[in-house]
Structure 1
Amino acid sequence: MTTSEILAALNWRYATKVFDPTKKIPADTWSALEESLVLTPSSYGLQPWKFIVVRDQELREQLVAHSWRQRQVADCSHLVVMAVKTAYSLDDLDSFIARMVEVRGGSAESLAGFRKMVAGTQAQGYMTKEWAKMQAYIALGQFMTTCALVGIDTCPMEGFVAAKYDELLGLEAQGLTAAVLCPAGYRHPDDRYAALPKIRFQSDDVIEHR
């Protein structure tokens, strides 16, 4: 893509308030969007998350009541619930190291220095649920940008009751909690917010060169 095409896609994107429930994202497009989630960078590469894709319409209708009555979660094509680990354990770290060995070769023993460094950070209490949530927002940004580049609408959402989502999706049993939502699909022609100009500060107000 050219730089002008990238900027056009980012200007086209907005937090969609009304989705068209009759339009669904094609399977091949959705597959690429899921892969964009998988490819999200994270602190130490640890990926303390799971992305729950909710397609079941009955379940999504139940979630509306716990989403400040926002219909996006039910009317979108795909609802992504970005869940994170409530605590990062050494078992999680060892699972990641095993995956490193599987992908890159070598041995777990050769990664002892890396393990010691990350385990030290974990022991100091830095790898909290709040830390994991910050990682989820990296995934949110990557997902929304990728969607915009292929013409898919999204709406980042913090307005929901995490405890109810955890209950309905069975997240607590997995050591997870819902961090942020991102419905994806196609804007409804009646969504008046689509035509509103973006309100952003001037570049000089938010970017400083030194």
Structure 2
Amino acid sequence: MSEQIKSQFISALEFRHACKEFDSERKISPSDFDFILQSMRLAPSSFGLEPWQFVVIQDMTLREKIKEHAWGGQNQIPTASHFVVAMHNKGAGLRYDGPLFDEYLFKRRELPPEMEEKYRGFVEQFQENDFDLLQSQRNLDDWAGKQIYIPLAHMLIAAAMLKIDSCPMEGFNRVEVGKLLADELAIDAEVYSPAFLIAFGYRKNQQPNKLRRSLDSLVKWA
């Protein structure tokens, strides 16, 4: 059984590619897309903060507005079955004394006051010294921005397991897309910043074989 699972997993990774155009006539079933979203929900994050928000945009008018600021998604955005904007939390909310830690680390775990104080001090040490996150908002933003790529990987692999194509994209203007979502969907641009776009659907064209470096060139044993 384990060999079969490994084979299925590698096969899914071989199948996955950055799809440049989707078959607009084919739609992902609600059940399959829920599976993809559930894989995102179960992704790990530093200290369990889950510093992200995923916005599924099916309104084609809004997609067209986003497309105006997304040079990297001209074919994917209008043809995708499902289109997602991934947003990460920003700045002060990510601090050891900020709202995310209060809500997701302390309240959710119902830590007693003495444990909360001890843990908060540990996180402060991590942010202040170990990772140098408190020097600027940019440092905190980058920290959250790196974490949001973990649920992205979950979603891409989950889709590939179902033979659903995908394309993560960074080719867009973050500020303009952030303003657009604030205006159209009342998403607080002071709290969230777009990290990347993801299109899901079924490929229109056949894809070439995957090219990757050899394992020996990527891994060093010590």
- Classify the TM-score, shorter chain: 0.7 to 0.9
Matches within 5 A, 1:1-210: 2-68=5-71, 70-87=74-91, 88-89=94-95, 90-96=98-104, 97-101=106-110, 107=112, 109-123=114-128, 126=133, 128-170=140-182, 171-173=187-189, 175-188=191-204, 191=205, 194-210=206-222
For 1:177 and 1:144, how far apart are their aligned partners in 2?
21
Q: Does the 8 Å CA contact 1:64/1:71 hold for their aligned counterparts?
A: no
The TM-score with structure 2 as length reference comes to 0.83
For 1:2 and 1:91, how far apart are their aligned partners in 2?
40
1:139-179 deviations in Å (ceiling 9; x for gaps): 21111111111211110101011111101111444511101
For 2:109 and 2:196, how far apart are their aligned partners in 1?
28
Structure 2: gaps of 5 or more residues: 134-138
The TM-score with structure 1 as length reference comes to 0.88
Deviation at 1:62, TM superposition (A): 1.3
SS at match of 1:160: coil
Q: Does the 8 Å CA contact 2:88/2:194 hold for their aligned counterparts?
A: yes
Cα RMSD (Å): 1.9
The corresponding residue for 2:136 is none
Q: Number of aligned pairs?
A: 202
Q: Which segment drifts farther, 108-117 or 71-80?
A: 108-117
For 2:28 and 2:112, how far apart are their aligned partners in 1?
41
1:43-80 deviations in Å (ceiling 9; x for gaps): 11111111111111110111111110522122111112
What is the percent sequence identity of the aligned residues?
A: 32
Deviation at 1:120, TM superposition (A): 3.8
Q: Against the structure 1 CA distance between its residues 122 and 208, is the aligned structure 2 distance closer, same or farther, given a 3 Å change threshold?
A: closer
Q: Does the 8 Å CA contact 2:35/2:158 hold for their aligned counterparts?
A: no
Deviation at 1:99, TM superposition (A): 2.0
